[in-house]
Amino acid sequence: MEEQLKINIHSIIPRSDINGPGSRMVVFFQGCGARCRDCFNPETQVFKMVSLYTAEEIFHKHLEEGMEGLTVSGGEPFLQAEELHQLLKTAKNDYGLTTVVYTGFTYDELSAIDGMEEIFDFVDVLIDGRYDRKHKEKTLLARGSTNQKFHFFTKRYNVDDFYMPGKVEVIIGQDGNVTETGFSKIA
């Protein structure tokens, strides 16, 4: 049996209808060195331990019935590459979920690193590139700026599936914390 690695997670949204096609669980990794100006998730940038979970713990605790997929964002997921690989592999193989991954790295940057193809094998869609406020997304696609590219590794989705006109979710947690997710800050 494969050793279960602990993933440093900032937060998890058990159900979202705007962070990719269909109903999805969204996992935000903790830690990112890019420091993009006007980052959507600045609280995920700091390299600190927040919550440590194995992939199986994430799905056991947070996966709801009827989920189509898993979306991974951050922070920067590829800074925890082995853990990301295990999370995506578990999502696909054990739960039959589709996978979407947002990264600040470009596909070319990632492809130059040994072992990335093994991760890409478990990704349906990669949305790559650092957020650039000079190129804010105005077509209402589920990305922050137009320099970010969609890479479709399977035929499950196409770019039309990422058209999210005016969709925003406001989540009020049991602790009273309010989380806004979506792409409202770009319109």
Distance from C-alpha of 147 to C-alpha of 62, rounded to nearest angstrom? 32
pLDDT tens-digit profile of 120-149?
A: 999 999 999 998 878 777 666 787 778 899
Instruction: Output the pLDDT for position 54.
Output: 97
For residue 89, name the pLDDT band (cuts at 50, 70, 90).
very high
pLDDT tens-digit profile of 58-88?
A: 999 999 999 999 999 999 999 999 999 999 9
pLDDT tens-digit profile of 38-66?
A: 777 778 778 888 899 999 999 999 999 99
Please name every residue paired with 28 in a beta bridge, in sequence order, or none if there are none: 11, 73
Selected residue with higher pLDDT from 159 and 49: 159
For residue 145, the Cα-to-chain-centroid distance in whole angstroms is 16
Give me 126's structure tokens: 């990669």
Tell me how many degrees the CA angle 50-94-19 measures, rounded to the nearest 5: 55
Mean confidence (pLDDT) of the chain: 88
Instruction: Output the pLDDT for position 186.
Output: 43
* pLDDT surpasses 50 at 28: yes
* pLDDT surpasses 50 at 187: no
Residue 4 exposed, middle or buried by CB count within 10 Å (0-12, 13-18, 19+)? middle
pLDDT tens-digit profile of 90-104?
A: 999 999 999 999 999
Give me 12's structure tokens: 């998890």
Nearest to 5 by CA among 54, 77, 59: 54
Distance from C-alpha of 52 to C-alpha of 178, rounded to nearest angstrom? 22
Distances (CA, A) of 87 to 54, 131, 179: 8, 24, 23
